[in-house]
Amino acid sequence: MSAAIIQRLLQRRQRFADGSDEKWEYCAPECGVSHFPIRTENALKANRIVGGVIANKNSLPWQVALIRPSGSQFCGGSIISDRWILTAAHCFRNSASTGWNPPTGYTVRIGSHTMSRTAESEGGISIAVEKIVCHPYFSRNPTDHDVCLLKLKEHIPFRKNIAPICLPHADAPVPAPGTACMASGWGRRISSNSEPTSEHLRQVYVPIMPIDACNTTIGEQSGYALTPRMICTATPDGGFSTCQGDSGGPYVCPNAAGQWEIHGVTSWGYGCAPARLPAVYAKVTYFTHWIVDSIAQN
């Protein structure tokens, strides 16, 4: 059974627990479809997600914010079914790098745009994490197999502003180098722990970088080579990228049918949008089978 069919079946299990009177097309949504206009431009001088713009409210309905037990936002993620979030494994590696943080106290903020407001005041919801399933081969130096699944304690109430992103088929090609796809999140503007994360959800379009060029620039900086489980993006002069706080968030591209698919999970890089140095994402197509199997087993 294909990933798309399994994802659709998972979506059909929606319980409508919130008593919503939303239209059926919202409560049982097609993946990768936004019912609000998505911005199409970048703005070099905008803050936070580097070189990006504030997303139109509710236009990225698959985007979620991950919230620590302390209440602060620390990573992003993407809705892939009514119980599961796709994010980065490094977001949940414990401080000793020997295992995974337990799910206790972690929540996922869904259908939200402005961090200074409550999710409920924006027509969203916060749901506690029940289980964390990170890839067993996750490693550092370089960060690899950087994907993780979060099972939520409750079903997500799909609405006009809450919907899943499409998972690409495992054999689907990554869009060609030069294709500008979209990253999003609430991350910082510069690589500094003193820099606050963004109050509003932001987005940026950045082009896919040829793998040989990416390997050259990454190798010069770190001595590491990209693996088949990574893709990278960069602009020649810098100024457009993700930053701290965006980790785990989506890098999405429209497919031939006009639906948005998640091709990357924000993973790692050097600084935030320096010239020539790429941002690296976990390549979702490499992990599609693992994602589907992990959901089925858990």
- Tens of pLDDT, residues 128-161: 999 999 999 999 888 899 999 999 999 999 999 9
**186 has a pLDDT exceeding 60:** yes
Confidence at residue 3, expressed as pLDDT on a 0 to 100 scale: 65
Known active-site residue 95: no
CB burial of 155-173 (b: ≥16 within 10 Å; e: otherwise) equals bbbbbbbbbbbbbbebeee
Parse the chain into domains and list their residue ranges.
3-32+61-164+287-297, 179-285
CATH code: domain 179-285 is: 2.40.10.10
- Report the pLDDT value the prediction gives residue 241, as an integer from 0 to 100: 47
- For residues 113 and 200, the answer to whether their CB atoms sit within 8 Å is yes
Q: Catalytic one among 78, 82, 90, 263?
A: 90
**Fold identical between 3-32+61-164+287-297 and 179-285?**
yes
d(CA 39, CA 268): 25
pLDDT at 198: 76
Question: Looking at 247, 263, 267, 294, which residue is catalytic?
Answer: 247
Percentage of residues in the chain with pLDDT exceeding 70?
A: 78
- The residue annotated as part of the active site, out of 113, 146, 267, 294, is 146
Q: What average pLDDT score do residues 38-67 get?
A: 76
Least confident of 17-21, 54-58, 115-119: 17-21
The CATH number of domain 3-32+61-164+287-297, selected from 4.10.80.400, 2.40.10.10, 3.40.710.10, 3.40.50.300: 2.40.10.10
90 is a catalytic site residue: yes
Confidence band of 61 (pLDDT split at 50, 70, 90): very high
pLDDT in tens, 192-248: 455 556 788 999 888 898 888 888 877 777 777 889 999 988 765 444 445 656 789
